[in-house]
Amino acid sequence: MAVPVIEPALPAMFDIVRARHPEDLDGRLRITERVVKSERIYTYQLQDRALWSATFDKPIFTLATRAAGSILASYADSSFATDVSVDGDEGDLFCFTTMLSGHITLVKKGNSTTTTDGRGLVWRPGPGGRLLISDDNARRNVFFKVADLEDALEQMLDERLRQPLEFGPDLDWGSGLATSLKRQLDFVMDEFQRPDGVASSPVALASLTDLLVALVLRGAPHNYVDQLDRAASAVVPAYIRRAEDFMRANGAEPIRIPQVAAAAGCSVRTLGHVFRHFRGSTPLGVLHAIRLELARDDLTRGASGFGASVASVATVARRYGFTNSSRFTAAFRRRFGETPSEAARRSARSSR
């Protein structure tokens, strides 16, 4: 049986632990504490009893982790079907799992949910939880602090939560904002592999975390979705309308958030509060999104008179403050599902 190979870019930046014998999977190595760092007890047991006394030349289990800010990213692979049970205290993290190969079944509170490469899994490690992991399994995990998500949710709802936040375990990566969430989770894993990526910049990481938290709460099913939808459908304050109008009118100018707040007629603090509540993002995040939209408008309607060349894309990108063309292309693709050049070419074909 082939042993899954760890993603080649991971070792440089990730903390890695490997097991070559089934006994290495017990609590003595405390493998999972690298992720959860708590009093929870994880029990790993190969489902095939004939393998319990075997020894292997290559690792049968690999776990790579990297923490930055309030986000923890991990990659794990398993050669053989494994039964993982969890006991102890309730976890303080939510885990969003993306499958690379194989499948996982989560069993909790008498219900079971199976995830494959087209679906995601959301779970909170805690007592009574159980994971049934398939043979030849590889997965990516991104962990968020429960407190961060609940604090952001309270800001969006503008009220205290009456019960803990609970997510539905099943995520359809091909539906709605879950698709955008999947792209951002993939982006996190890619960036955490780079020594000079977002994980190494506290300022950039804070902005990315805000975006991820908003997408998690908007794109994943949970017990406050209906209430959140009602709050989002409320009348948008004039502060936001004036701020967004100012951003669109000055997207190509070097404006700063205090200028936006002044144009909106409120303080920077108030501006941040209303944007988090009604837009689920920061003013800076909204400005970034508006600049991407303005750049797409220039490229697709040909207002700049450019074609779809690399030079034209770079010129439009710089016009709206995107000085790194590769990052601009990545951000554009995450938001619109195509590259700037593809958008320009598509528009040119449709106008013929």
Indicate if 257 and 164 belong to the same structural domain.
no
Cβ atoms of 340 and 332 closer than 8 Å: yes
Same domain, 194 and 248: no
Give pairs for 291-297: CB < 8 Å, separation 24+.
Answer: 291/251, 291/320, 291/321, 291/322, 292/320, 292/331, 292/332, 292/335, 292/336, 294/248, 294/251, 294/252, 294/320, 295/319, 295/320, 295/322, 295/328, 295/332, 295/340, 296/332, 296/336, 296/340, 296/343
Can you give the CATH number for the domain in which 266 is found? 1.10.10.60
Question: Is 7 a member of any domain?
Answer: no
Asked if 152 and 261 sit in the same domain, the reply is no
Does the pLDDT at position 78 exceed 80?
yes
Sheet holding 15-19, edge to edge: 15-19, 61-68, 71-78, 137-145, 93-101, 119-123, 170-172
Q: What integer pLDDT is reported at residue 293 of this predicted model?
A: 93
> Alpha-carbon distance 277 to 344, whole Å?
34
**Same domain, yes or no: 337 and 197:** no
Domain membership flag for residue 197: yes
Mean per-residue pLDDT for 16-34? 66
Residue 321 lies in domain: 235-350
**Is residue 182 located within the same domain as residue 245?**
no
- Cα–Cα distance, 101 to 99 (Å, whole number): 6
Q: Residues 188, 240: one domain?
A: no
Residues 43 and 125 reside in one and the same domain: yes
Q: Evaluate whether residue 33 is within a structural domain.
A: yes
Q: CA-to-CA distance for 8 and 276, rounded, in angstroms?
A: 38
pLDDT class of 26 with cuts at 50, 70, 90:
low
Residue 154: its H or E element = helix 146-157
Whether residues 192 and 257 share a domain: the answer is no
Looking at the fold, whether 177 and 31 belong to one and the same domain comes out as yes
**222 assigned to some structural domain:** no
pTM: 0.66
CATH of the domain at 65: 2.60.120.10
Q: Which of the four pLDDT bands, split at 50, 70 and 90, describes residue 2?
A: very low
Q: What is the pLDDT of residues 118-170, one digit of tens each?
A: 899 999 988 878 899 999 999 999 999 999 999 989 888 878 899 999 999 99
- pLDDT given at position 7: 57
Whether residue 104 is contained in a domain is answered as: yes
- Cα 325 from Cα 297, distance rounded (Å): 17
Same domain flag for 256 and 182? no
* Same domain as 116, residue 51: yes
Q: What's the domain count of the chain?
A: 2
Residue 226 covered by a domain: no
Is 214 a member of any domain? no
Q: Any idea of the CA torsion for 198, 97, 118, 185, to the nearest 10 degrees?
A: -10
Higher pLDDT, 4 or 248: 248
Q: Are residues 165 and 242 in the same domain?
A: no
Q: How confident is the model at residue 336 (pLDDT cuts 50, 70, 90)?
A: confident
Give a yes or no: residue 252 inside a domain: yes
